Each structure stands twice: as structure tokens, then as C-alpha cells.
Amino acid sequence: MAPHPFLAPLFSLLYLVSAASSEGRYQPGDPVMLYVNKVGPYHNPQETYHYYQLPVCSPANIRHKSLTLGEVLDGDRMAESMYEIRFRENVDKKALCEMKLSPQQVERLRQAIEELYYFEFVVDDLPLRGFVGYMEESGFLPHSHKIGLWTHLDFHLEWNGDRVIYANVSVRDVKPTSLDDVRGPDPLSVTHTYSVRWSETASERRGERRGSRGGDDGFFPRTLEIHWLSIINSMVLVFLLVGFVVVILMRVLKNDLARYNLDEEASSSSSGDDFDQGDNGWKIIHTDVFRFPPCRSLLCAVLGVGSQFLALGTGIIVMALLGMFNVHRHGAINSAAILLYALTCCISGYVSSNFYRQIGGERWVWNILLTTSLFSAPFFLTWSVVNSVHWANGSTQALPATTILLLLTVWLLVGFPLTVIGGIFGKNRAGPFDAPCRTKNIAREIPPQPWYKSTLVHMTIGGFLPFSAISVELYYIFATVWGREQYTLYGILFFVFAILLSVGACISIALTYFQLSGEDYRWWWRSVLSAGSTGLFIFLYSVFYYSRRSNMSGAVQTVEFFGYSLLTGYVFFLMLGTISFFASLKFIRYIYVNLKMD
């Protein structure tokens, strides 16, 4: 029986994730294909170009490998190489090709070496990385500047049974070909050679052997170690903060409720019109606190998309905890994120439409369109700018037309229909808004508020405290996404994610209480902005990371970094704004349900 059309993306997701690390089986003497992939500046991880764009040995007819969606999104463009490698057969200084480099080609190589270009090869889905050339600067007076091209590569591969377990490339004990003395119109003759050395290993799984890649034979930095001291510091901060908020609010609320209910019993003989005359604080605004806010459709769209990203983020972390991703290649995470986004669109449609109908919204079609474009429109605009910059510079990060059509098809056939279906279900299942207090037709006048109860101050407090709880972990995440680290601490990440949501909810409740105590009932949008402003702090941290913690440079990398960092801050605004709002709503319903009133 054919699968349901909406289950097909789920099957595709499982296939892409499970196929993220394929292994070949070989017999002695079988050819092992080595693919050339990409090159780029070492300090600009997202600025990559095809290996054959450099003047290197290339076949007359270049044949590319079929790639998964995640590999294409990761900038991979694998093509067959001229290296001849056979399973368990050693090769010693075999000639690959002889080239005559023109002055322009030499200058191209010299420029790449000065920018610390590295290359990436792939053999049996194992990445091999090394630098294109060698550069040395020494002395001040006299100053020496030496540039050399690596024309010989040593491949070291380890096998167990009929599988390749480990692969590495090195240039140890190899003298580079100097490019310093190349002047004039005469071409430079170079001969590229390579050696292959096989050895048996006791490791039966790639993860065991590959885990040692961070040692002397590793190209990128070692896998991040667990930073327990920083995590314990965050835990102490969070527990103290949450405990302070809970204890203070519970004591204050207990006193408030006791005083208000006692006053209610004492003034039970008063008329309804005189009911408010002796009151102050949050009780006096009980007839306005549930007055619906302006821009209701936009508020509901924010809550819907924020709920979707909460589910998406939780799903990605859980899948990583289950070991469904190959941590050394991020393509599977990219594929899973895209397909999970499409599948969770039903959540955004349901939450947005359901709450919109509860608060009296009538234009639910407009609400669905606003919900589906609240994130997709800014994302498409940002991606268009970034992709255009990559395309203009010939980078492999520019998506091919076929991939763009595939992603557009996924959104049109899966994401958008699920948003509409979720919206229909949400609208039909929506009940009346659960308000324990009646709302008067005429709004109460709000007294002047002190400066420390302003929106800007609440946003500063509500954004800084959740950010401080994740600031340490944020560095490691940035070092993974925008650097060369390899992140494997998904359990810690899940814990920090839970801490972030808990702090956001507690801070929102505290700030909402102080706002209501000042007889200001405009809490709806204020609650979203208070903890949602954490996204602004994350973007400001990205500016600090770019300028102080990284060596990134150039237009390509800069546009990509700030474009997607801005989107990241926007996503955190949506997620934490949603958590903040629903926590405040739950808190307000609780305190007014327990308040005696006519």
C-alpha cells in the first residue's frame, strides 16, 4: 500500500539521516574512490570553492558524485579524482600528473596559500583535510616571506576486515615546491606525486578510531571537552534566580491575596460602583487585565511560529541524543532541520489560529498567511542576499537551481499545506477565552509609570538574565557553527536549552507581576518582548564573537555570518517570546482565579 502523501517527507527524513554515513565493503585490490571536494580559507568556514577551481591535476572529463540534500547544503561538490587507491595496497611516490603553471596560475596558487587555503578530500565518506601550501614569515629586518606548494601527499588509511576505518592525509617529511622565485613569462613545471600506506587497526567502528582525530594527526581542533565548571556555574545562577523569583512572588502573592480578600469581606456591603475606591495594585485592574491587545493577528502568528521552533529545536536535540547524526559531517543535521521545519508547520498553524479565534479574531485566512510568512519571508530575503553573494564569488555554498526547486517544492507541498490544515483544526477546536474576570467596555486610565517599569528596562532585564545562563554554552555553539570545532555535547545542550526556557518563563512572570502592580494592564506584548529580547543579546554577542573571538574576514563570510546570526536572534525572539507569553498568561489566570470578587 502506498504511504500517505504527508508521511513521505518523514520517510525521506529517516532515509537521509540514516544514509548520512555510508560505508563500503572491499576485497583486497578493489579500487577505493577518492573524491576531491572543496577548498577555502581556513578561518572562513562558509567560504568554500570547488577544488578544481585551483590550477591542480584534474581529469579531462570531470565526473561529479551524486550528493544528498545535506551535503549540498553544506557546500560539498564532490568529483572523482585522479588518485588511484586500491584496498590494502601500498603505493610509494607515484606520479599523479605533470603541470606547467603559467604566471597567472602561480599567482592564483600564491594568493590561495597566503589566505591559508585548505582542501578537503573524501574517501569512503571519510573526510581528509590538509593545507594547499606552506607559508613562513620570519624576522623584521631583514623580513623573509616564503611560500611553497605541496606537490606530494601521503595518504594513511586503516582497515579492519573489509572496511575502511580511518583515513588521513599528511605532508610530513615532504619539501614544498617554492613559488618565491617564479618571475617572468616562463611557465613553472611541477610534478604532483602521492603515496598510500595501509595499516590494520583493532577498531571495529569508525567512531572509536575517528575520535582520536583531534590528536597529532588531526587537521581541525579536537572535539570539545565537557566544561563542567561553566555548566555548574550556570546551574547555580539559574537555581538561585528561579528560587528567588518563586519564593518572593509566592510570599508577596500570599500577602496580596489575603489582604485583598479581607478587604473584600469588609467592604461586602459597598455598592459595585464603589468597589474600586480603596484598592490599589493589581487587583484594581481586574476589569482590564484581560482586555485584548492591538495587532491580535500578529501576536498569534508570533506565538504559533514560536511554538513551531520550540518543537523543532527539541526534535533536533532529541534526534542528536539518539545518535542519528554523524557529528563529523553536518549535512544530516541540515536535512533534518529543513524537513522537520516543514513537518512542524502544522503546529504553527494550529496554535496561531486557535488562539486567534479565542481572542475574537475573525480574519483567520489573513492570520494563516501571516503565520506562514512570519519566518519564511525574512528567511527567504536573507538567503537571497547571502546566496547571491556566494554565487557572484563562485562559492560552492551557492545552492544549485535543482536544490532551490527541491526546497521550494518541500515548502509548497508540505510546509504550507500543513500550516493551513493546522489552522483549520485550530479554528474549529477553539473554545471561548478562559478569563476569570469580566472586562469593562471602557478602558481604565493607566497612571504614569516610573522609568524602571518602562518597556526598555523590562526588555533589558528579561533578555540579559536568560542570555547570561547560556552565554558560556553559546561560545561553544558558535565555535562549532562558525569555527572548526566539533560539537558532541548534546546532553549538555539539552540541559542548557531547558535552563534557558525555565529562566525565560520565571523572569517573565516576575516582570509581569511588577507591571500589573503598577496598574498597567498592557502586559500582552510586554510579556513577549521581555524574554524575547534575549534574541537581541544573542545577536550582539555574535558581533562580539566576530570581532574578538574569530579570524573571519572578507565579504562572503561576513555577509553569511551576520545574515544568519540575525535570523538566529529572530528565532530565539520567537521561541522565548512564546514561552514568556504563555507563562505570564498562566500566572495571571492563577492570581485572578484565586481573588474573590463580585
Omega cis (within 30) before 142: yes
Round to whole Å and give the CA distance between 44 and 116.
10
The closest of 588, 507, 527, 576 to 241, measured between CA atoms, is 507
* pLDDT mean over 84-113: 92
CA distance 304 to 293: 16
pLDDT in tens, 479-535: 888 887 777 778 888 888 998 998 899 889 889 988 988 888 889 999 999 999 999
d(CA 524, CA 147): 62
- How confident is the model over 551-574, as a mean pLDDT? 95
| Confidence band for 271, pLDDT divided at 50, 70 and 90 | very low
Q: Which of 588, 593, 597 is nearest to 291 (CA)?
A: 588
Over 70: is that where the pLDDT of 2 sits? Answer: no
- Report residue 327: phi and psi, to 5°: -70, -15
Structure confidence at residue 22 (pLDDT): 56
Find the range with the poorest average confidence among 242-251, 323-332, 498-507, 580-589. Answer: 323-332
Q: Residue 364 — pLDDT band, cuts 50, 70, 90?
A: confident
Alpha-helical (H) ranges within 267-295 are none
Q: What is the pTM of this model?
A: 0.87
**pLDDT for residue 593 is more than 60:** yes
Specify whether the CB–CB gap between 150 and 176 falls below 8 A.
yes
Q: State residue 476's pLDDT score.
A: 85
34-41 and 49-50 strand pairing:
antiparallel
Q: Which residues pair with 198 in a beta bridge?
A: 157
Q: Mean pLDDT throughout 555-579?
A: 96
What integer pLDDT is reported at residue 216 of this predicted model? 39
d(CA 263, CA 258): 9
Given a contact cutoff of 8 angstroms between Cβ atoms, the answer to whether 116 and 47 are in contact is: no
Q: Which amino acid is at 414?
A: V
pLDDT digits (tens, 9 = 90+) for 146-189: 899 999 999 999 999 889 999 999 988 888 888 887 777 788 89
Res. 235: pLDDT tops 90: no
Characterize 112-125 residue by residue with b for buried, 16 or more Cβ atoms within 10 angstroms of its Cβ, and e for exposed.
bbebbbbbbbbbbb
φ, ψ of residue 269 to 5 degrees: the values are: -80, -10
Query: Could you tell me what percent of the chain has a pLDDT over 90?
Result: 52
State the Cα–Cα distance between residues 154 and 166, nearest whole angstrom: 14
Position 568 scores a pLDDT of 96
Residue 518 identity (one-letter amino acid) = G
Residue of 510, 514, 508 whose CA lies nearest to 454 = 514
Closest CA to 119 of 188, 201, 56: 56
Higher per-residue pLDDT: 312 or 5: 312
- pLDDT for the residue 392: 95
